[in-house]
Amino acid sequence: MSGDGRTRTAWLLGVGLFALVAVITLVSSSVGQFSATVDDVLGAFGRIIAPGQFATTDETARVDATLWNVRFPRMAMGLVVGAALGVAGALTQSLFGNPLAEPSVIGITSGASVGAAISIAIGASALGMLTTPAFAFAFGLATAILVWMLAQRIPAQRAVSLLLVGIAVNALAGAATAFIFMVAPTTARDAVVFWQLGSIAGSTWTSVGITAAFVLVGLIAAAPLIRPLDVLALGDRAAAHVGLRVPLVRIVTITVVALLTAAAVAFAGIIGFVGLIVPHAIRLIVGPSHRHVVPLSMLAGAALVTLADLGARTLVPLTDLPIGMLTSTLGAPLFLILLYRTFASNRGAMS
């Protein structure tokens, strides 16, 4: 496919994904244990934007309160978390030069899991409802920093050393989480397991605002990396030969990935496969250019998480399923299909 063809495909896909996100958000806002019509959802927005144009009754006030205090914050959190994980996955795959990489390989999610488990096990409450997310965020970032520092001491290609150290740190963090789980009170064990399965239930505008602030910083910081990552795809030597400061690009990229991933999992818990399947699928459709992959991964990640959350609330009546379980259920078979198609196309190109 030519450059113009890929650009056209990227624009069409972007418009389609944006429309998909809008439709999923609208539908997800109107269904669930509390049913609301599409008119109710649109009216709730209309009474905020143009108060005098929409009638207000006791019933609409009740519906509006439910939507704005429960449903809309949850939808917003899904969009923010999905966008963050999609972009973090795209950057991670570029950092390692491997379409099978995801943010968890550098220990961010496992570190966040340790932080959340510690907070829940000791009953920390210094920051109220923000305590566990704060622990998860801090431990996630700290783990990423630890992986980077240890990788500097390994005399190997930087991407390889990061991967090897990440594997070791992930194993250590998993053991630490298991130990905390075993010594924690029974009630705390249930909370730890639920957090690890991932959920955006109970999201508030406060949690959405905090998460969105960190994610926005990460997205802004990701924008200047688009061209350098395209150059880095040529290889470290070729990139350095054309003047790219490869070590600086790598450390900035891993910092942005750590920020986006830690912010996403802090409130939502571990939501798997989004950072793996989304950018991988986008690259297969529009090619490797990051000016297409990064923004489209943001939209596709938001769509996938909100769709999974819709399923979490509606598949089993009166039950809120873990969203991480659903993203894995959706992502695993889709990833196998994409993987098969990738190897099949490569085999066909070589024959």
User: Model confidence at 167, in pLDDT bands (50, 70, 90)?
Assistant: confident
Average pLDDT, the chain: 85
Asked if residue 349 has pLDDT above 60, the reply is: no
pLDDT given at position 330:
79
Residues in Cβ contact with 4 at an 8 Å cutoff, skipping those fewer than 6 apart: none
pLDDT digits (tens, 9 = 90+) for 183-240: 888 888 888 888 888 888 888 899 999 999 999 999 999 999 999 998 888 877 888 8
Crossing angle of helices 158-183 and 131-151, in 10° steps, is 140
pLDDT given at position 297:
95
The Cα–Cα gap between 289 and 276 comes to 17
Domains of the chain: 81-342 (1.10.3470.10)
pLDDT given at position 52:
66
pLDDT digits (tens, 9 = 90+) for 64-115: 888 888 889 999 999 999 999 999 999 998 888 877 788 888 888 888 999 9
pLDDT given at position 294:
94
Using a pLDDT cut of 90, give the percent of the chain over it. Answer: 25
pLDDT given at position 212:
94
pLDDT digits (tens, 9 = 90+) for 32-50: 777 777 777 887 787 777 7
Q: What share of the chain is helix, strand, coil (3-state, %, to 5)?
A: 80, 0, 20
Residues in Cβ contact with 320 at an 8 Å cutoff, skipping those fewer than 6 apart: 199, 201, 312, 313
CB 269 within 8 A of CB 321: no
**Structure-token match 């075993």, residue found:** 182
CB 323 within 8 A of CB 200: yes
Contacts 24+ apart (CB under 8 A), 334-342: 334/277, 334/281, 335/273, 335/276, 335/277, 335/280, 338/277, 338/280, 338/281, 338/284, 341/284, 342/99, 342/284
Q: Is the dihedral of CA 87, 88, 94, 95 positive or negative?
A: positive
Question: What's the rounded mean pLDDT across residues 146-160?
Answer: 76
The two tokens of residue 322 are 């873990």
Question: What's the rounded mean pLDDT across residues 237-261?
Answer: 87
Determine if the pTM surpasses 0.85: yes
CB 72 within 8 A of CB 245: no
Q: Which amino acid belongs to residue 20? A: L
Question: What's the rounded mean pLDDT across residues 280-294?
Answer: 89
The Cα–Cα gap between 314 and 165 comes to 40
